[in-house]
């Protein structure tokens, strides 16, 4: 019996697929090379933009014939997209050949769902919240990099974003558990890099009792003896403290590479996005990083065409990119997500305008990289 996992979305999902892989192997399944030779196919989905969801619907739908030819094939859909009740129900209704539909918090029970399907029952189950699971190991699949989850969820509720709704509130793992996992990774001597994961790593530990700061966690990890590089993502600008910048500057093990999503260069839009910082505050953080960590790589994410964004306001994003001269950026067209504040705002921007803006931003980035001789 073989399993095959299709993963969409961010590194968090990539890492969770490593957990799914471990669960499958514990059940006695082996890893398949492709969908065709699999007896169990899992789609680990992402809900961040409409395009991501459309791809999942397309690719799950395409399995109809395979299931007809191979009735014992088990098809499961999990992750952020199906954490939403309406989408989960739609998935079951539209694709009667899908056997398991679960959300992000149901993952630890995955083996039980597969057993139930084998006993003849289709499964739809969504938990509203869940504790961080420390019981299931990971089957690491990312080569020389080992992902380590340090927290789950998000409290920020940026008005465009679905993540807080599908991943719940911020919950940090206990520091001792993280350090234990990293000591084990280092002892294996198979990995050159360790990447810490969280939607907003800078708010790590605020929910722990006693609280532990992200800066302390970084220092304690660097104190572990061994030959490894440490990286993390994602940093929210509002929580990036001077202490964290100092630790990155001081610790040789930490990569000098910060992903610091700005989203927009315009203060009215940043406020409407609920990002809780201004362009000026953001630039002051960049300045601090440049001063304390010379040659630090800095990258960012931007959203263009947020509802009500005018041409002038978009120009502020262009000028921010021009000013910071990033090593690399991701630029996304705003995609309305059901249930979020921004999706209900008047003056949604037409697709044509969003396309024009995203192309202009990417062209500017290309020009800057050429001038700066960057990648
Ligand atoms: N927690 C991270 C972001 C995770 S989502 C952070 O706050 O930086 C990754 C990126 O997707 C975001 O930085 C944002 O640029 C983009 N994104 C999120 N929601 C979006 C939406 N509704 N439409 C378009 N892009 C979006
Ligand atoms: Fe989404 Fe904002 Fe949380 Fe990032 S910080 S996951 S963009 S709500
Ligand atoms: Fe997508 Fe969920 Fe990550 S919505 S970006 S897979 S947290």
Tokens representing residue 245 in the block: 């910048």
66-77 in b/e form (b: 16+ CB < 10 A) is ebeeeeebbbbb
**Ligand 3 site, residue 305, Cβ cutoff 6 A:** no
Nearest Cα neighbor of 73 from 4, 147, 152 is: 4
User: Is residue 94 classed as helix, strand or coil in its secondary structure?
Assistant: helix
Phi, psi of 244 (to 5 degrees): -65, -45
Q: What pLDDT, on the 0 to 100 scale, is given for residue 375?
A: 54
Q: How far apart are CA 365 and CA 262, in angstroms?
A: 14
Q: How far apart are CA 372 and CA 244, in angstroms?
A: 27
Distance 80 CA to ligand 3 centre (A): 6
Residues 153, 156, 158, 159, CA torsion sign: positive
Distance 199 CA to ligand 1 centre (A): 10
Claim: this prediction has a pTM higher than 0.85: yes
Report yes or no: 8 and 127 within 8 Å, Cβ to Cβ: no
Q: Per-residue pLDDT tens, the chain, 375 aa: give them.
A: 999 999 999 999 999 999 999 999 999 999 999 999 999 999 999 999 999 999 999 999 999 999 999 999 999 999 999 999 999 999 999 999 999 999 999 999 999 999 999 998 888 888 888 888 898 889 998 899 999 999 999 999 999 999 999 999 999 999 999 999 999 999 999 999 999 999 999 999 999 999 999 999 999 999 999 999 999 999 999 999 999 999 999 999 999 999 999 999 999 999 999 999 999 999 999 999 999 999 999 999 999 999 999 999 999 999 999 999 999 999 999 999 999 999 999 999 999 999 999 999 999 999 999 898 865
CA distances, 290 to each of 142, 167, 254, 293, 370 (Å): 30, 33, 16, 5, 20
CA distances, 219 to each of 189, 216, 226 (Å): 21, 5, 14
Residue by residue, what is the 3-state secondary structure of 123-143? Answer: EEECCCCCCCCCCCCCCCCCC
Other C-beta atoms lying within 10 Å of the C-beta of residue 259? 20
Distance 200 CA to ligand 3 centre (A): 13
Residues having CB closer than 6 A to ligand 2 are: 154, 156-158, 161, 163-164, 199-200, 236
Report yes or no: 31 and 314 within 8 Å, Cβ to Cβ: no
The strand order across the sheet containing 328-333 reads: 257-259, 297-304, 328-333
Q: Which domains does the chain have, with CATH numbers?
A: 2-125 (3.40.50.12160), 142-255 (3.30.750.210), 257-375 (3.30.750.200)
Q: Which ligand 3 atom is the nearest neighbour of the CA of 199?
A: 7
340-372 in b/e form (b: 16+ CB < 10 A) is bbbbeeeebbeeeebeebbebbbebbeebbeee
Q: How far apart are CA 108 and CA 43, in angstroms?
A: 16
Residues 197, 200, 203, 208, CA torsion sign: negative
Phi, psi of 164 (to 5 degrees): -60, -30
Q: How far apart are CA 229 and CA 234, in angstroms?
A: 17
Report yes or no: 152 and 167 within 8 Å, Cβ to Cβ: yes
Quote the crossing angle between the two packed helices 175-188 and 214-222, to the nearest 10°: 30
Distance 95 CA to ligand 2 centre (A): 31
Q: How far apart are CA 80 and CA 77, in angstroms?
A: 10
Report yes or no: 212 and 204 within 8 Å, Cβ to Cβ: yes
**Ligand 3 site, residue 13, Cβ cutoff 6 A:** yes
């Amino acid at each position: 019996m073989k399993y095959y996992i299709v993963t969409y979305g961010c590194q968090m999902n990539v890492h969770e697929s490593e957990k799914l892989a471990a669960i499958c192997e514990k059940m006695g399944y082996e890893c398949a090379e492709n969908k065709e030779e699999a007896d169990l196919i899992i789609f680990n989905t992402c809900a961040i933009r409409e395009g991501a969801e459309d791809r999942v619907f397309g690719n799950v739908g395409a399995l109809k014939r395979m299931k007809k030819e191979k009735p014992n094939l088990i098809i499961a859909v999990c992750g952020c997209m199906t954490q939403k009740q309406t989408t989960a129900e739609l998935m079951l209704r539209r694709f009667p050949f899908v056997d398991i539909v679960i959300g992000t918090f149901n993952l630890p029970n995955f083996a039980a769902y597969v057993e139930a399907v084998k006993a003849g029952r289709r499964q739809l189950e969504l938990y509203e919240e869940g504790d961080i699971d420390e019981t299931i190991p990971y089957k690491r699949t990312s080569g020389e990099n080992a992902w380590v989850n340090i927290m789950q969820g998000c409290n920020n509720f940026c008005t465009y974003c679905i993540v807080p709704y599908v991943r719940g509130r911020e919950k940090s793992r206990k520091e001792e558990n993280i350090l234990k996992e990293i000591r084990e990774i280092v002892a294996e001597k198979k990995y050159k890099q360790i990447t810490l994961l969280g939607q907003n790593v800078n708010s790590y530990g605020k929910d722990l009792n006693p609280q532990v700061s992200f800066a302390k966690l970084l220092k304690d990890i660097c104190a572990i003896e061994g030959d490894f590089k440490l990286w993390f993502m994602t940093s929210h600008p509002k929580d990036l403290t001077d202490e964290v910048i100092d630790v990155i500057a001081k610790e040789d093990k930490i990569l000098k590479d910060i992903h610091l999503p700005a989203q927009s260069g315009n203060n009215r839009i940043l406020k409407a996005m609920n990002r809780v910082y201004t362009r000026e505050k953001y630039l002051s953080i960049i300045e601090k990083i440049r001063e304390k960590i010379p040659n630090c790589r800095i990258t960012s994410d931007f959203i263009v065409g947020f509802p009500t964004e005018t041409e002038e306001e978009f120009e502020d994003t262009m000028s921010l990119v021009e000013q910071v001269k990033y090593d690399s950026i991701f630029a996304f067209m705003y995609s309305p997500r059901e249930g979020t504040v921004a999706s209900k705002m008047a003056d949604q921007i037409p697709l044509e305008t969003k396309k024009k803006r995203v192309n202009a931003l990417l062209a500017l980035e290309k020009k800057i990289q050429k001038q700066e001789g960057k990648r």
